[in-house]
Amino acid sequence: MAVFAVHYVYAEDKIPGRDEFRPEHRAWLNSQVEAGVVLTSGPYPDGSGALILVQGDDADAVATLFADDPFKREDLLADRRIVEWVPTMGAFSS
């Protein structure tokens, strides 16, 4: 399986919705951690978005999976980018 970086970009006008759905979003992410799909996740300190590292067969499969994320489902993201990432050293390298 390949590793993908899922970049979330937050919009200022969506803050109330993200606050409302954050518990459900984090529960969904935790279920993906338990399933071995999400490797790690966290917001950027400046509040502009988040990075989620995941394992998947391809970018389309990751996009399909992430359609179930409450932040995506509720249209709470300004942008989402899914990019295959090839770690060559460290914790996530093969």
Helices of type H across the chain: 15-34, 59-66, 70-73
Task: Name the band, by pLDDT with cuts 50, 70 and 90, for residue 85.
Answer: very high
* CATH architecture of the domain formed by 2-85: 2-Layer Sandwich (3.30)
pLDDT digits (tens, 9 = 90+) for 32-84: 999 999 999 999 999 999 999 999 999 999 999 999 999 999 999 999 999 99
pLDDT at 94 over 80: no
Q: Domain residues of the chain, as ranges? A: 2-85
Task: Name the band, by pLDDT with cuts 50, 70 and 90, for residue 92.
Answer: confident
Sign of the Cα pseudo-torsion (89, 85, 28, 16, in order): positive
pTM for the structure as a whole: 0.93
